[in-house]
Amino acid sequence: MPFISIRSLTKSYTKGKASITPLENLSLDVPLGEFLALMGPSGSGKTTLLNLVAGIDSPTMGELTVDGRDIAHLSRAELTRWRASHVGYIFQLYHLVPILSAYENVELPLLLGKLSKAQRREKVNAALDLVGLSDRAHHRPAELSGGQEQRVAIARAIVHDPGLLVADEPTGDLDRESADSILRLLNSLAKDHGKTIVMVTHDPKAAEAAHRTLHLEKGRLTENLNTAS
């Protein structure tokens, strides 16, 4: 069974008197451990698909399962609980808390759980070590480079060991060298740690780092290119 299975997925909503359908009758399988890039022009449905897969939104029609769980028909409260343990988020602008250290930013998602301080410390240190920032644990965001800030954001996304990572333009605010470093890290998370990653990007160079690139056009898949192995 694919890690993500989508069948005849449609998302519609009303804006004023107009009915808008950003995704229509879309079907897709994403295997466990794949690094998938989504490309397409603005308004093509990329972010809508990302939000549905991440359980941020619910489809109008169709089937959507992630790791064997039917998330298409969960209530908002059920989706919130599911996201908290199964999904990690990586954004373009990091969303770090400026007054907190790298360690404290990574620890934030764990504070909602029942882990002891020692258990949280173990998980945070492991996540920072995985992204290569153990020596920056006590630095605040202003003391880090853009690439280092994004690594902290990735550590925060993986600290609770989710199976799914969703990345919305994760290299959009970085220079090429920093962007390439982040893409290598994402590739390693998929290849070496079994994370399934769905990334939205406008950058063809970023898409080349993924295992597969899907192109969306007006809510439909129009092209399927294999890229990195």
Taking the C-alpha atoms of residue 5 and residue 54, their distance in angstroms, rounded to an integer, is: 13
Domain ranges of the chain: 4-226
pLDDT at 223: 58
Q: Pairing mode, if any, of strands 4-15 and 61-66?
A: antiparallel
Angle (CA) 217 221 222, round 5°:
70
- Lowest-confidence pick of 17-31, 149-163, 186-200, 213-227: 213-227
- Residues 183, 107, 88, 44, CA torsion sign: negative
pLDDT at 228 over 70: no
Query: The domain 4-226 is classified under which CATH number: 3.20.10.10, 3.50.30.50, 3.40.50.10490, 3.40.50.300?
Result: 3.40.50.300
Per DSSP, the three-state class of 85 is helix
For the entire predicted model, the pTM comes to: 0.91
pLDDT at 225 over 80: no
pLDDT at 205 over 60: yes
- Whole-number mean pLDDT of the chain? 91
- Over residues 34-61, the mean pLDDT reads 91
pLDDT at 218: 81
**195: confidence class by pLDDT, cuts 50, 70, 90:** very high
Contact 8, 63 (CB under 8 A): yes
Contact 62, 7 (CB under 8 A): yes
Q: How many CB atoms lie within 10 A of CB 128?
A: 22
- Over residues 17-46, the mean pLDDT reads 89
Nearest residue to 133 via CA among 111, 114, 152: 152
